Amino acid sequence: MTAKLLKTGTKDENAVEIPRDLQTFLDKPSVSASLDAELATKSVMDRHRNELRSAVRKLTHSA
């Protein structure tokens, strides 16, 4: 089961509460921007991976 991470003070039975000091660190603009860039890069890589898989499937089925 995957745990959800929520900001301190929110409630969800499947959540893991983020300690305030970690949340403060994550909320720093430089850290937040770095994490956003990492997620954007991962998203682009995932999209390219899916496009490649689709192309390979098409080539495999047309052969």
At 15, the amino acid letter reads A
Domain span at residue 46? 4-62
Residue 46 CA to residue 22 CA, distance in Å, equals: 28
Q: How far is CA 22 from CA 5, 6, 26, 36, 47, in A?
A: 12, 12, 6, 16, 30
Count of domains observed in the chain: 1
Supply the DSSP string of 11-27, one letter for each residue.
Answer: --TTEEEPPHHHHHHHT
pTM for the whole structure: 0.48
Per-residue pLDDT of the chain (63 residues; tens, 9 = 90+): 344 555 555 566 666 777 888 888 888 999 889 988 998 999 999 999 999 999 999 999 886
